[in-house]
A and B are shown apart, each in its own frame.
Chain A
Amino acid sequence: MQVPINTRINQRSYELEVDARTTLLDLLREKLDLKSVHRGCEEGECGACTVLLNGKPVCSCLVLSPQINGAEVLTVEGLMKDGNMHPLMKAFVENYAMQCGYCTPGMVMTSYYLINTWDDFTEEDIRKGLEGNLCRCTGYTNIIRAIREAKKYKDAGYWW
């Protein structure tokens, strides 16, 4: 069944017809070509598919596409501004916070939420916050370093 929906994705409004059997992950990747949204386990365990839905991180593989009717979605593509990388993405690059890069978009979206939500945080908080994002290259140390760096950018006013 095709379901008509209205939604905002990466600051743009869409009127779409979606197949009720598809997930948000499918919609973003296959229909809208937002390939930052990675298909991993497809059962909510790995976090590679994390996007922000109404400002909160969710696994897009567990959301049915018609459920985003009236909602707002943000992916890594939406963090870019005028073709420039977001300061958080820069911090990931500068700190070598990726090896194969499979987990990276999910890590970026979760940490974007965490940095925006928390005034201050410890390494322990970051580890707990990233519980739902697995990195099978296990490069967690650099990811945590990148998040701390990004927080400095934000405090210095270099952020959007």
Chain B
Amino acid sequence: MRNFIGSRSISKISYFCPKSLTEALDFLDNCKENVKILAGGTDVIPAVRSGKLLLIDNINILDIKSIDELKHIVFEEEGLRIGATVTLSEVIESEIVKNNCPLLKKAIDQIGSMQIRNWATIGGNICNASPAADSAVSLLALDASLRLQSKGKSRLVPINEFFVGPGKTKLKSDELLTEIIIPKRNGNSTFIKLGRRNAFTLSLISIAVFVQMKDNVISDIKIALGAVAPTPIRAQNTEKILIGGKITEENLKTAVQTIKEEINPINDVRASSEYRRDMSGELLRKALINLFGI
């Protein structure tokens, strides 16, 4: 029988599938560097097979999918809390998410195909740190925080500070992402994704906008983009231009110009950087027109 790494064979792996969070954190504490955390595996398995991810011999695979403590979706004082191994389908189907966080539902609805969404987890989608992760884009606009736990410790990191580069995050080797917390805020939101075909996993560009109004002016706006920089990013210069004002022909133009200058898209097989730059501006225009009905 073939092994899952295809032709790149590794002679040995250890597989550990704890039922409780404590066991998982103890395991991480003991093994440190020599661990690969696996949830759904929908990113890890193809990455290993294609050689993008090299697993060393005797790697410990820590499968966190059976840990019941990471499967909650609750709405309370703090806001909306979603466990790391909730699948993308469970997020979309949740009434709680639909009622309290339609932006997240809309973004996740457009990730991958149904088969992928049924197995991939929200925590996995974030930790994989793809520049194009649609869940991360919406969570940036929602100002979410991530709970990272290690043995006997727990810290909250704003998602805005979590991503370091493609595939790289602030997660330490003994830490596990356990839940995503989305603060309670009233406002309007929109999400637009540009991709080749719908079920294709990766976005060419995606944009999420969350806006709060007070006395007819924008009191706060968060604009997040995917696939235009090494990590999913917030367009903070553009946000600054829009906060405290109304949407007019004039500042719409300035905002579109600013966002194009602010991003740093790459050339790849899916699209050129110029195309991504221009389209980011257009997507912002479309998003704001959606939101403000102008």
Contact = CB atoms under 8 A, between A and B. Distances in A.
Interface of A: 1, 3, 19-23, 26-27, 30-31, 42-45, 47, 50, 53, 56-59, 61-64, 66-67, 69-70, 110, 128-129, 131-133
**Interface residues of B toward A: which range?**
35 or more
Contacts of A56: 89, 118
B167 to A, nearest CB: 17
Contacts of B4: 21-23, 26, 64
A43 B49 contact: yes
B201 A44 contact: yes
B114 A43 contact: no
B116 A67 contact: no
Contacts of B1: 19, 22, 26-27, 30-31
B198 interface: yes
Interface SS, B side: loop
Interface stretch (B36-44, B132-140, B275-283): B36-44
Interface of B: 1-6, 10, 12-15, 17, 38, 40-42, 45-46, 49-50, 61, 63, 65-66, 89, 112-116, 118-119, 198-201
A63 B42 CA distance: 7
Contacts of B65: 67
A27 B38 CA distance: 19
Given A43-B50, A56-B89, A129 B114 contact: yes
A28 to B, nearest CB: 11
A44 to B, nearest CB: 6
B74 to A, nearest CB: 22
A96 B294 CA distance: 49
Contacts of B15: 1, 3, 20, 64, 66
B87 to A, nearest CB: 9
A22 B45 contact: no
Contacts of A133: 113
Nearest to B199: A131
Contacts of A57: 114-115, 118
A53 B2 contact: no
B115 A47 contact: yes
A61 B4 CA distance: 9
B17 A69 contact: yes
Nearest to A29: B1
Contacts of B14: 1, 20
A45 B201 contact: yes
A16 to B, nearest CB: 12
A50 B61 CA distance: 24
Nearest to B39: A67
Given A44-B201, A59-B116, 8 more contacts: A21-B10, A22-B4, A43-B45, A44-B115, A62-B41, A62-B119, A63-B119, A131-B198
Given A1-B15, A3-B15, A66 B42 contact: no
Nearest to B17: A66
* Most chain A CB inside 10 Å of its own CB: which residue of B1, B63, B198: B1
Given A3-B15, A45-B201, A62 B118 contact: no
